[in-house]
């Protein structure tokens, strides 16, 4: 199974990606409601382990990612990082990892809840993104892989999501 997180409006997403593989779980902006932001309570670790305590449908990715072979993120590049929508999904789903610490690559990181991490593919997009911002995005993604225990990742950029050729291969 693949999990796809994106920040495109529903119509734009349909236009860019008219057909998707059958075994894919897609999470993107809904016309109904925006996700609440993380309130920093750590309830996803110590009250409802693995799940966000805010029950708005955006905080239950841990179980899905535990079974996923691929995690694909399509995000506008904002200040050299993910867009607020994608960042919110990441903040709301730290239940994917455990609260406990481990030493990994000579730094402290969190221990893993799930045994097999997915392959991460990030497709950053947006006009006028500077080379320095693209480098920072790479640094952010690398840090994410260390903290999420991801062993293989790929990072692409294009001015628009549908201009990233590699993404079509991942989503075929």
Partner 1 sequence: MIGLLCGSPKAKSSTSICFIERLRTLLGPEQTVVVYPKESDMDILNNCDTIVVVYPLYVDALPSHLLQFLTEYETRMNGGPMRLYALSHCGFYEGHQCRPSVEMLKHFCTHAGIIYGGAIGLGAGMMLAANTLPQNAALPLTQAFNTLAQAVHSKLQMPEDLYVHIKFPRFLFILAGNFMWLGEAKKNGIKKRDLYSTK
- Least distance in angstroms from the C-beta of 26 to partner 1: 20
Nearer to partner 1, 56 or 91 (CB): 91
The answer to whether the CB of 92 falls within 8 A of the CB of 35 is yes
When computed from its CA atoms, the radius of gyration of the chain, rounded to whole angstroms, is: 16
Q: Nearer to partner 1 by C-beta: 63 or 162?
A: 63
* Least distance in angstroms from the C-beta of 28 to partner 1: 15
* Residue spans of beta strands (DSSP E) within the chain: 2-6, 24-27, 70-76, 97-104, 107-112, 119-125, 153-158
Q: In whole angstroms, what is the distance from residue 101 CA to residue 160 CA?
A: 38
- Cβ closer to partner 1: 22 or 131? 131
Residue 153 CB, nearest distance to partner 1 (Å)?
13
CB of 82 to partner 1, least distance (A): 7
Dihedral angle, C-alpha 150, 110, 80, 77, nearest 10 °? 60
d(CA 107, CA 145): 13
Of 152 and 166, CB closest to partner 1: 152
Which chain residues interact with partner 1 by CB under 8 A? 37-42, 45-47, 49-50, 62-63, 66, 78-82, 84-85, 87-88, 90-91, 94, 98-103, 107-109, 113-114, 130, 132-133, 136, 139-140, 143-144, 147
């Amino acid at each position: 199974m693949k999990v796809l997180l994106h920040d495109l409006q529903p119509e734009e997403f349909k236009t860019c990606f008219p057909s998707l593989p059958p075994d894919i779980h897609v999470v993107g902006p809904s016309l109904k409601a925006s996700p609440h932001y993380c309130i920093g309570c750590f309830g996803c670790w110590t009250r409802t382990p693995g799940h966000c305590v805010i029950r708005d449908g955006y905080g239950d990715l841990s179980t899905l990612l535990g079974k996923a072979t691929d995690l694909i993120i399509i995000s506008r590049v904002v200040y050299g990082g993910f867009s607020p929508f994608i960042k919110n999904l990441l903040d709301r789903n730290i239940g994917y990892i455990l609260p406990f610490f481990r030493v990994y690559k000579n730094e402290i990181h969190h221990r893993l809840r799930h045994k097999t991490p997915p392959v991460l593919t990030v497709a950053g997009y947006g006009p006028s993104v500077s080379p320095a911002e693209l480098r920072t995005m790479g640094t952010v993604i690398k840090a994410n892989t260390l903290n999420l225990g991801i062993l293989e990742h790929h990072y692409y950029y294009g001015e628009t999501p549908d201009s990233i050729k590699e993404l079509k291969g991942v989503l075929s």
